[in-house]
Amino acid sequence: MFIKIGFDIELSVASPMAIIYLLHVHPSRRDDLMAPEIVGISPTLEVEEYLDAFGNQVGRVNAPHGVDHVRFRSESVIQDSGLHDPTDWYAWQHDPTDLPPATLQFLLPSRYCEVDSELLQFAWNQFGHTAKGWPRVQAICDFVHRHIRFDYQQARATRTAVEGFREQVGVCRDYTHLAVTLCRCMNIPARYCTGYLGDIGIPPVRYPMDFSAWFEVFLGDRWHTFDARHNVPRIGRVVMARGRDAGDVPITMAFGQNQLTRFDVTTYEVDSCGNAV
């Protein structure tokens, strides 16, 4: 299948400043693009691109004197298997002594995922009796899916996993932060993911299209996808960036006073000619 993806994002800026953005499809999905992905920036600014410590493609522009807004636009078509997220109920859980060193950072506390908190003892009390591996992660997803109530109006960029646990409300990043934290509390490496997830294979939802957050856990010698907000396998997930939590993968980050004035995201199924299906 083919999926049209894209965005139109604009920031107003009050002074000269640097802006970084993680708006490209993740390098692991680059070969699935039907044509090279181009991020259009207006006004025209010099772009510096690099890979960050997590392997994400990052761009940086510097808004000079006289520029009061910066707009990012892109539109692409990506090929996808059209299959649901895979499941593997027999994926085993490693003991921390056997984990690959590269996964250990995803057991540690991070900005929005306070493993060293009240959630540590709660996690062992709540999930310590569950079977290790995939069943334990699914039990965590089931709990988070029930515990948090989705509400766009209650979104808050500074909410941590502990705060989401206490407040029991949030958006996809809050579900993800709490699930990631509980997995880490149970010695399961978990990393935060952001990307596109359209209403493919499900009835249309009433919320405006947005980027989505989910997470991956390391079981059975590879990373697996889980989604505590939806809590069902989905079709058409396109990862853009991975990190310890949302702080590592900002869609945009401006190093100065700014305001988001436009935010439109596109992701829907199309045919090979780019027409909506």
Q: Which CATH number fits domain 2-82+250-270: 2.60.40.2250, 3.40.50.970, 3.10.180.10, 3.90.1150.10?
A: 2.60.40.2250
Query: Which architecture does CATH list for 96-234?
Result: Roll (3.10)
Q: Where are the domains of the chain?
A: 2-82+250-270, 96-234
- State pTM to two decimals: 0.96
Helices 134-147, 118-127: crossing angle, 10 deg rounding: 120
Count of alpha carbons within 13 angstroms of residue 109, beta-carbon side: 11
Q: What is the reported pLDDT for 207?
A: 80
Compute the distance between CA of residue 106 and CA of residue 22 in angstroms, rounded to an integer.
20
Nearest to 212 by CA among 198, 191, 232: 198
Only one residue has tokens 């929005």, namely 112
Q: What does the pLDDT look like over 68-84, one tens digit per residue?
A: 999 999 999 999 999 99
Q: What is the reported pLDDT for 200?
A: 94
Q: What is the reported pLDDT for 218?
A: 98
Nearest to 54 by CA among 239, 201, 257, 205: 239
Q: Which residues of the chain have pLDDT under 50?
A: none
Fold equal for 2-82+250-270 and 96-234: no
Q: What is the reported pLDDT for 203?
A: 87
